[in-house]
Amino acid sequence: MKKVTALLTFALMLTLVFSSSAFAWGVTAKDDPFAAGKWMINFNTGFDIGMGTDSYELEDEDAVDTDMVEMGFGLNGGYYILKGWEIGPAFRYAYEKSTDKDDNAISASDYMFGIQTGYYYATPAPIHPFINVEAGYAGRSVNYSPDQGDETSDSAGGFAVRPSLGAVFFFSNKFALTPSLFYQYTGYSGTDDTSGDELDYDLTSSRFGFQLGLTGIF
């Protein structure tokens, strides 16, 4: 938790620095920064920090909720089909690892690929709000490393949707810092064979967090 707090503090400080640069640079609505026909590429720079809950439900059993902290990154591309409105592909990857009191380690890799669309509103001030939604196929690969016994793994697939709300701070004519808040809901289905028997399960994942992106618009 201390590591997450430190990263969030650093991200906030970086946002404040670039906010000052945005006011100094002064890219506003009169510059038409989100004109139709432009291209956008966004990379979430490793500060995609999500906190939430996983609900794991084996076949014919009650669901078990687990609080999780997850870090990852994303890459989006888009084309402005209308002024302020872009659409394009999206990719996202996240990794988490935990160890229980018996020294059994669990690591999980989550990924999503699909489409995204966003609307960017150019204002007279050098701060421009935006809203974005990503949706697509989601996958998860899990490795179980017990303190005693053989390592096992399983995988699951499903669907994810991820809306976000943020702001654009230009620090040059083409590049901007894009901090935002996000919520991601993911539903998975898979097969668990760690007990020796194959059991179907459903897994739902809810994440809420902060992401810091670097965006280029050309």
Give the per-residue pLDDT at 42: 95
Please state, in angstroms and rounded to a whole number, the distance separating the CA atoms of residues 165 and 13: 19
For the chain, first and last CA: distance in Å? 38
130 has pLDDT over 70: yes
At 37, the amino acid letter reads G
Rg (alpha carbons) of the chain, rounded to whole number: 20
47 has pLDDT over 60: no
Q: Which domain holds residue 106?
A: 2-217
Strands, DSSP E only, in the chain?
Answer: 39-44, 48-58, 64-82, 85-99, 105-120, 127-145, 152-170, 175-192, 199-217
Name the domain count of the chain. 1
118 close to 146: Cβ distance less than 8 angstroms: no
Task: Rank 47-51, 159-163, 197-201 by mean pLDDT and report only the highest.
Answer: 159-163
Average pLDDT across the chain, whole number: 80
Instruction: Identify the band that residue 148 occupies on the pLDDT scale cut at 50, 70 and 90.
Output: confident
Instruction: Identify the band that residue 45 occupies on the pLDDT scale cut at 50, 70 and 90.
Output: low
133 close to 117: Cβ distance less than 8 angstroms: yes
According to DSSP, the β-strands at 199-217 and 152-170 are unpaired
Task: Rank 24-28, 89-93, 138-142 by mean pLDDT and report only the highest.
Answer: 89-93
Per-residue pLDDT reduced to its tens digit, 167-194: 998 888 889 989 898 999 999 888 766 5
User: What tokens does 216 get?
Assistant: 């280029």
Give the per-residue pLDDT at 12: 61
CATH number of the CATH domain containing 125: 2.40.160.20
Instruction: Identify the band that residue 49 occupies on the pLDDT scale cut at 50, 70 and 90.
Output: low
Q: How far is CA 72 from the centre of its chain?
A: 7
Task: Rank 24-33, 67-76, 77-86, 151-160 by mean pLDDT and report only the highest.
Answer: 77-86
Per-residue pLDDT reduced to its tens digit, 18-40: 555 555 456 777 789 999 999 99
